[in-house]
Amino acid sequence: MKQLIFLTMITCSLLMFSCSENGVGPDDGPHGVLHITSQPTGALIHLDQKNTGLFTPQYINATGGSHNIILTMENYNPWESHEWVDINDTTEVEAYLTAHPTKLYINSEPSGASVYVQGNFYDYTPCLLDSLYWGLRPRDIWIRYAGYFPYHEVFEHRDADIVNHWNITLEPCPSHTFVYGHEQSLYTVQLDGIDPVVLAANIGTVSSAPVRSPDNQYVAVLTGDTHILVINSAGAIVKDIIAAGSRAYDFRWSADSRYLAWGVYIKGIYLFDAQTQNVKLVYATSGYCYNHSPAFSPDGQWIAFAHHEWESRCWIYKVKIDGTGAKMISDRFGTLYDEWIDLNWVDNDLLVYKTRSGLYTLNPSQSSAPQKVIDDYLYRLAFSADGEHFAYCSDYNGADSLHIGTTYNWTFSSGFAFDDIARIITWVPDQNAFLVYGYEGCYWLTLTGRFYHLNDPDGPF
């Protein structure tokens, strides 16, 4: 008799609700359907004070009438509702769960550093972040103090009743500025990332990373994909050049900062003279070719560049800055399509470039086959002004990393994890560090291996 009563209770319970992964499951009696969804997903469903063991989103069969629904999820407040179910009909139930606030205590040395959360100022250290509803979303936190490298970390949600502690020691930064493009303006920014100064405003949508001349007197930038602007250190536009073609963004300054070279698809290699402010075409493209990645010789009298016809058909050429003496100096190279070879003329007898299959060297004084010196997947490359060191970004098996290498023996560091996409790499004048322009801001990496994220692309501006 006890077994019969027990089985009857189970049968009655199962008639209250049933489900299947693909929607409505079988049910012997008349029923309707509850379609329960939540933000975020994965909430445990309690129906009529019973734990269903099911998680949102879910279809559940239920008898006609009123039903109590409770959703629970770790780090979120319980959600409750009463819903009416009609026979042979589906009732939509959509729940938005409210997260518990989490707590984060931040202390810094020196104290009094500014704390930014999601780009907005929050407080000065030491401080307790105790009123933010984080949910399960990670939050960008920046800690800044004048004269010190910023500290940046993405904070993941923790249990609400635990106070998380950060004790941060900030490191002094050298006196150096970099130029950064944001929306329609250029800014000069100190390495501490505090109080960016407008260099040039309302210049059009910034389409490329700005490239500074070695003497820091000029900046070249592409705006609106159509205008190449040369801007001086006072913020004045000294030359507005109509790009007259596509892909005009591979700017390269000569060592003496007098000349700026770049390539334009189908058109050829162009040269801007900062002294005369004249622009001329020094090598005209024949047919639908792309001449790009210019690099000046150490004496500034020649320009080497990639002559790219289609797919993997690519050669290295050189031409004098007056447009004469054009000559092919390499055999055809490469089996991969790569428009960003980042050509570097390191010394009189050494040209270096990268492809997606490695780092290659070439003697510019004679026509020869390029020699591979590093086997890696490279997608950005730059050499220090003295030619002693190089930096490159690798994307091997989808894991981005930055590397520092030594020229001539071609040794390089094991790499620094890089959660961004490098646009350009530029060495600083004293050659003991370099800047990486990414889509999530600028980064600073020293020869000694110190790595810093300098700014947030969304502010403060």
83-134 pLDDT per residue, tens? 999 999 999 999 998 777 677 899 999 999 999 988 889 999 999 987 665 5
Say what the pLDDT of residue 170 is. 97
Supply the mean pLDDT for the chain.
Answer: 85
CA–CA dist 222, 235 (Å, integer): 15
Q: Give 33's pLDDT tier (boundaries 50, 70, 90).
A: very high
148 secondary structure, DSSP code: B
Q: Assess whether pLDDT exceeds 50 at residue 21.
A: no
Q: Which residues of 260-283 are buried (b: 16+ CB within 10 A; e: fewer)?
A: bbbbbbbbbbbbbebeeeeeeebb
Say what the pLDDT of residue 4 is. 40
Say what the pLDDT of residue 332 is. 72
Residue 371 CB contacts under 8 Å (≥ 6 apart), including other chains: 360, 361, 362
Residue 363, judged by CB atoms within 10 A of its CB (0-12, 13-18, 19+), counts as middle
Both tokens of 153, joined, read 């970390």
Q: Assess whether pLDDT exceeds 90 at residue 334.
A: no
Say what the pLDDT of residue 416 is. 85
> From the CB of residue 176, how many other CB atoms can be counted at a distance below 10 Å?
15
The rounded Cα 72 to chain-centroid distance in angstroms is: 36
Q: Assess whether pLDDT exceeds 60 at residue 320.
A: yes
180-207 pLDDT per residue, tens? 998 899 999 999 989 899 999 999 999 8
Residue 50 CB contacts under 8 Å (≥ 6 apart), including other chains: 13, 16, 17
Q: Give 337's pLDDT tier (boundaries 50, 70, 90).
A: low
Say what the pLDDT of residue 341 is. 87
Say what the pLDDT of residue 174 is. 93
Q: Assess whether pLDDT exceeds 90 at residue 56.
A: yes
Say what the pLDDT of residue 10 is. 38
253-276 pLDDT per residue, tens? 999 999 999 998 888 999 999 999
CA–CA dist 458, 461 (Å, integer): 8
Residue with the two structure tokens 């009655």: 12
417-458 pLDDT per residue, tens? 888 888 889 998 888 899 999 888 899 999 988 999 998 876
Residue-by-residue DSSP string for 54-80: EESSEEEEE-SEEEEEEEE-TTB--EE
Q: Assess whether pLDDT exceeds 60 at residue 32.
A: yes
Measured CA to CA in angstroms, residue 143 lies from 104, 140, 149 at distances of: 13, 10, 9
Q: Give 8's pLDDT tier (boundaries 50, 70, 90).
A: very low
Say what the pLDDT of residue 120 is. 86
134-168 pLDDT per residue, tens? 555 668 899 999 999 999 998 876 555 567 789 99
pTM, two decimal places: 0.75
- Count of H helices and E strands in the chain? 1, 43
222-249 pLDDT per residue, tens? 998 789 999 999 999 999 998 766 677 7
CA–CA dist 269, 262 (Å, integer): 6
C-beta separation of 400 from 418 below 8 A: yes
Query: Which domains does the chain possess?
Result: 2-96 (2.60.40), 102-169 (2.60.40.1120), 244-375 (2.120.10.30), 383-461 (no CATH)
Task: Choose from 5-19, 330-344, 427-441 the range with maximum mean pLDDT.
Answer: 427-441
What secondary structure, in 3-state letters, does 344-396 show? EEEECCEEEEEECCEEEEECCCCCECCEEEECCCEEEEEECCCCCEEEEEEEE
> From the CB of residue 452, how many other CB atoms can be counted at a distance below 10 Å?
20
Q: What average pLDDT does this structure show over 297-313?
A: 87
Dihedral class, residue 5 (left if φ above 0, else alpha if ψ from -120 to 50, else beta): alpha
Residue 395, judged by CB atoms within 10 A of its CB (0-12, 13-18, 19+), counts as middle
* Amino acid identity for residue 340 in this structure: W
C-beta separation of 98 from 39 below 8 A: no
CA–CA dist 248, 230 (Å, integer): 13
Say what the pLDDT of residue 459 is. 63
